[in-house]
């Protein structure tokens, strides 16, 4: 019997009726002869409600206690799903992260899984049970409860699938797969039947949030075949696998856009070693993540440096950057949160020159100004004006002929 | 530095403001030079809300999953209290039952504590922290989460105090001690400054629910000095200790009443061995607890048997008893839920004859009919008509001169 690892997100277990439907789905999968481990997130708004209580308490508490608190949400949904399975006549049991042997480091609130010790899970599977694992959590070497960061249940599922050598990892969510573009922006977007790990990783990191970046990375490293599919339909989803196993490798698989972007530019930065590091050290020390960085030599010995951060970090970043600007003797700075990042992703891009040039041409033809560019082997991203996002997505979707990709 | 173990009930941690007040109280106690371990119950209605979800699921789930679910309530309040302590500048950390080393048997939903392994608690105390332990829960030998039954947080606290040889165990609750009678029924009731373990155990088992019976038993067996006091005032409470350490031993320490009683009588039961066991076996098999039992030889070879159960169990018990009545050839049965149990409790009773006779005389003088009697060494209980409860409590309170006992 093949082992399947499933994962259901918070909206799939938001109330008892939905949990019952998940139970029926799992029982049908078990009837097909599979051994089933399923990971669940916390019910609907549970995590937000708990966070609201911590805001009432105010500042000064540590992340260890936050992990202790938040981990209860998944423990609750796991036990409720196990009860629903039992009430439907199916042997089942729930396990917390520590009971399931999800061993992490001790970085509270964004722990990394070091190892999986699935002995208890195996015992319970051998007794014919469906095993429900509380997602998002694990246990640190000192016996503390840790959490894996928001969306960490994806990571729990992929790690269990890797650690237990599962045939498939099925991520059930509220969308039914990975699309060539966001269907709310481009109604002609089509669902991709297959994409490769590298593409998924790029999609995940440019804001197409169907799978957490860390889960995508783990799946790639351990070659776990992941399928993204809907909790609420029976339609096939998108399979994430190795390039070698794909029916076809596309030059461009999709267009992604990300509005959670703000841009900061510093003018006339002295062209001396160590100057750039001063800027970015100040941000890193305050846990502000910098995404794209562009440095351009404008005149003589002075440069302009521009970079992007997450939009909600802008108000925290500005005073830090102002201090550095004064410190290094730059001429000044500018910033804007009316920008968007548009990306094209495709595993075939690396062997086909001119794709980036095609992208720039299409944007230019549509009167869309490119403010910043960054590229990887299988991705090209441009920062543009936010108001032009939809026009850009639709133009690129048409240019790369993505309408009938599924 | 002396170790204090405290416990705060659900109404004391019902919201963040109340939790903050508890934090302040604990910080003040620590400032007096104590090492502090505190046990907390779940916030206000959390447990009831979780139980409501299980009712939506319906029947068929096992108690293991229920324990998994309910234990989250105390984990949440423990972490929120630890955060509030930290926010107020006091080093603190929360531990679940398994992290705190509360080792139980595997009887889900009413587990008994087998042992305490306080190594982690000791480590954290040594670092100057207040340690907050999630009450009501422990870990079974197989690594499952167990719960100790409703009100089990009292038991958690007393067990920790016993296991760690604490000087005192302080049970903070919404009443400020043990009274000579329920002040809502007898306004002249006075607070007892001291009572002995045996008295507490009798009070707990006759419905004066300031301390769980199992916690009282544990305190007695391990000679833990327990104080019951209010979360919301600074007044001294009631100390529960050994008879030998008491300033004075009273003949009668208090009058307790219990309205959660129903009476069942079976008439003309054949006087043969094994008949009584048939009646009570049927109830025990259905987890219906029988309290008082009276058998009276009425005529020749046939007896009447009367007994009491908890009132809410009456509808479940009646069909079981009816079946047995037919089975054993008894003449018939009667039942009533308009009864109450009135008890007098006092450690000095055992050395002073005639106390029970005094009780019966007072009830008779007040026109109160006694339907059943049961006695222990330090307690006499009578079943009377419910409507006469207040009259009985007040008459006994006056007869035994309890007004100025505090």
- CB-count burial class (<10 Å; 0-12, 13-18, 19+) for B333: middle
Query: Tell me, what's the pLDDT at A131?
Result: 98
> Which residues, numbered 316 to 375 in chain B, qualify as contacts with chain A under a Cβ-Cβ cut-off of 8 Å?
none
At residue B337, does pLDDT exceed 70?
yes
At residue B247, does pLDDT exceed 70?
yes
**Hey, are the CB atoms on A76 and B75 less than 8 Å from each other?**
no
**Distance, in angstroms, between A14 CA and closest chain B CA?**
12
**Hey, are the CB atoms on A68 and B57 less than 8 Å from each other?**
no
**Distance, in angstroms, between A91 CA and closest chain B CA?**
9
Kindly indicate the confidence band of residue B342, based on its pLDDT and cuts at 50, 70 and 90. Answer: very high
Tokens of A168: 């498939």
Q: What is the spatial distance between Cα A345 and Cα A376, in angstroms, rounded to a whole number?
A: 9
**B263 vs B277, more confident:** B263
Q: Does A80 touch chain B (CB under 8 A)?
A: yes
Torsion of CA A231, A234, A236, A238, to 10 degrees: -10
**Hey, are the CB atoms on A76 and B145 less than 8 Å from each other?**
no
pLDDT averaged over 10-residue windows placed end to end, chain A, 406 residues:
94 95 96 97 92 94 97 98 98 98 96 96 97 98 94 94 94 89 91 92 73 89 94 90 87 92 91 82 88 77 87 93 91 93 91 89 94 90 95 95 78
Comparing alpha-carbon positions, the chain B residue that sits nearest to A18 is B57
Chain A residues lying within 8 Å of B118, measured CB to CB = none
**Hey, are the CB atoms on B79 and A69 less than 8 Å from each other?**
yes
**Hey, are the CB atoms on B89 and A60 less than 8 Å from each other?**
yes
Q: What is the pLDDT of residues B138-186, one digit of tens each?
A: 999 999 999 998 779 999 999 999 999 997 999 998 888 899 999 889 9
At residue B406, does pLDDT exceed 60?
no
Q: Does A184 touch chain B (CB under 8 A)?
A: no
**Distance, in angstroms, between A27 CA and closest chain B CA?**
15
Chain B residues lying within 8 Å of A89, measured CB to CB = 60
Write the CB contacts of A187 (distance below 8 Å, at least 6 apart in sequence). none
The tokens 């009135």 sit on which residue?
Answer: B342
Mutation target to probe the A interface, by most A beta carbons within 10 A, among B50, B65, B67 is B65
| Mean local confidence (pLDDT), B22-44 | 96
**Distance, in angstroms, between B64 CA and closest chain A CA?**
8
Question: B135: helix, coil or strand?
Answer: coil
Q: What is the spatial distance between Cα B37 and Cα B169, in angstroms, rounded to a whole number?
A: 10
Phi/psi at B179 (5° precision): -105, 160
E strand or H helix at B240: strand B238-241
**Hey, are the CB atoms on B86 and A120 less than 8 Å from each other?**
no
Q: In what order do the strands lie in the sheet with B332-336?
A: B290-299, B302-309, B262-270, B332-336
Chain B residues lying within 8 Å of A134, measured CB to CB = none
**Hey, are the CB atoms on B86 and A69 less than 8 Å from each other?**
no
Q: What is the pLDDT of residues B361-376, one digit of tens each?
A: 999 999 999 999 988 8
Nearest to B281 by CA among B225, B320, B337, B224: B320
**Hey, are the CB atoms on B80 and A53 less than 8 Å from each other?**
yes
Strand A3-8 and strand A35-40: the pairing is parallel
Task: Tell me what percent of the residues of chain B surpass a pLDDT of 90.
Answer: 72
Report yes or no: A384 and A368 within 8 Å, Cβ to Cβ: yes
Report yes or no: A132 and A36 within 8 Å, Cβ to Cβ: no
**Hey, are the CB atoms on B16 and A88 less than 8 Å from each other?**
no
Q: What is the spatial distance between Cα B247 and Cα B224, in angstroms, rounded to a whole number?
A: 18
**Distance, in angstroms, between B348 CA and closest chain A CA?**
49
- Count of CB atoms within 10 A of residue B299's CB? 8
Q: Does B127 touch chain A (CB under 8 A)?
A: no
Task: Tell me what percent of the residues of chain B surpass a pLDDT of 70.
Answer: 97
E strand or H helix at A145: strand A145-147
Q: What is the spatial distance between Cα A242 and Cα A223, in angstroms, rounded to a whole number?
A: 7
Kindly indicate the confidence band of residue B67, based on its pLDDT and cuts at 50, 70 and 90. Answer: very high
Question: Closest to A87 (Cβ–Cβ): which among B58, B87, B120?
Answer: B58
Q: Does B69 touch chain A (CB under 8 A)?
A: yes
**Hey, are the CB atoms on B99 and A60 less than 8 Å from each other?**
no
**Hey, are the CB atoms on B68 and A75 less than 8 Å from each other?**
yes
**Hey, are the CB atoms on A69 and B54 less than 8 Å from each other?**
no
What are the DSSP calls for B342-405, one per residue? EEEE-GGGGGSTTHHHHHHHHHHHTTPPP-EEEEETTEEEEEEEGGGHHHHHHHHHHHTT-TT-
Which stretch of A276-285, B55-64, B320-329 has the lowest confidence by average pLDDT?
A276-285
> Which residues, numbered 248 to 287 in chain A, qualify as contacts with chain B under a Cβ-Cβ cut-off of 8 Å?
none
**Hey, are the CB atoms on B88 and A61 less than 8 Å from each other?**
no
Q: What is the spatial distance between Cα B226 and Cα B212, in angstroms, rounded to a whole number?
A: 12
ipTM computed for the complex: 0.85
Query: Tell me, what's the pLDDT at A256?
Result: 92
DSSP 8-class letter at B179: B
**Hey, are the CB atoms on A68 and B96 less than 8 Å from each other?**
yes
Phi/psi at A332 (5° precision): 165, -175
Query: Tell me, what's the pLDDT at B208?
Result: 59
| Mean local confidence (pLDDT), B208-226 | 87
Mutation target to probe the A interface, by most A beta carbons within 10 A, among B66, B78, B79, B144 is B79
Q: Does B94 touch chain A (CB under 8 A)?
A: yes
| Mean local confidence (pLDDT), B203-232 | 85
Query: Tell me, what's the pLDDT at B196?
Result: 93
Q: What is the spatial distance between Cα A346 and Cα A200, in angstroms, rounded to a whole number?
A: 10
Query: Tell me, what's the pLDDT at A301?
Result: 73
Q: Does B99 touch chain A (CB under 8 A)?
A: yes
Which stretch of A246-250, B6-10, B76-80, B117-121 has the lowest confidence by average pLDDT?
A246-250
Nearest to B161 by CA among B233, B86, B222, B100: B222
Query: Tell me, what's the pLDDT at B91?
Result: 98
Query: Tell me, what's the pLDDT at A153?
Result: 95
Report yes or no: A75 and A198 within 8 Å, Cβ to Cβ: no
**Distance, in angstroms, between B74 CA and closest chain A CA?**
10
């Amino acid at each position: 019997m093949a082992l399947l690892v499933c994962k259901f997100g918070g909206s799939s277990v938001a109330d008892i009726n939905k949990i019952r439907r998940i139970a029926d789905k799992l029982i049908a999968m078990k009837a097909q002869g599979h051994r089933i481990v399923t990971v669940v997130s916390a019910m609907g708004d549970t995590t937000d409600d708990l966070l609201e209580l911590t805001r009432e308490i105010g500042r000064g508490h540590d992340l260890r206690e936050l992990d202790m608190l938040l981990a209860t949400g998944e423990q609750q949904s796991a036990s409720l799903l196990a009860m629903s399975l039992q009430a439907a006549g199916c042997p089942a049991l729930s396990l917390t992260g520590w009971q399931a042997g999800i061993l992490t480091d001790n970085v509270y609130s964004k722990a990394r899984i070091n190892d999986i010790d699935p002995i208890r899970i195996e015992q319970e599977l051998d007794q014919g049970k469906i095993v429900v694992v509380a997602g998002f959590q694990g246990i640190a070497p000192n016996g503390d409860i840790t959490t894996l960061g928001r969306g960490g249940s994806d990571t729990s599922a992929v790690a269990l699938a890797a650690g237990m050598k599962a045939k498939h990892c099925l991520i059930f969510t509220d969308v039914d797969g990975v699309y060539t573009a966001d269907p709310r922006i481009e109604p002609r977007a089509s669902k991709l039947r297959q994409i490769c790990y590298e593409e998924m990783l790029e999609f995940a990191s440019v804001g197409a949030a169907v799978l957490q970046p860390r889960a995508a990375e783990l799946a790639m490293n351990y070659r776990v075949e992941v399928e993204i599919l809907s909790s609420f339909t029976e339609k096939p989803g998108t399979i994430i696998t190795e390039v070698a196993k794909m029916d076809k490798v596309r030059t461009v698989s999709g267009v992604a856009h990300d509005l959670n972007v703000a841009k900061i530019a510093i003018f006339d930065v002295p062209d001396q070693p160590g100057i750039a590091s001063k800027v970015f050290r100040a941000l890193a020390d305050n846990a502000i993540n910098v995404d794209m960085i562009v440095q351009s030599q404008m005149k003589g010995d002075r440069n302009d440096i521009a970079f992007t951060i997450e939009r909600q970090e802008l108000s925290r970043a500005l005073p830090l950057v102002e201090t550095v600007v004064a410190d290094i003797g730059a001429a000044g700075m500018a910033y804007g949160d009316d920008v968007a990042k548009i990306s094209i992703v495709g595993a075939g891009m690396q062997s086909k020159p001119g794709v980036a040039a095609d992208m720039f041409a299409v944007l230019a033809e549509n009167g869309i100004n490119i403010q910043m560019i960054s590229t990887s082997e299988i991705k090209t991203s441009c920062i543009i004006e936010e108001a032009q996002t939809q026009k850009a997505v639709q133009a690129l979707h048409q240019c790369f002929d993505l309408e009938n990709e599924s």
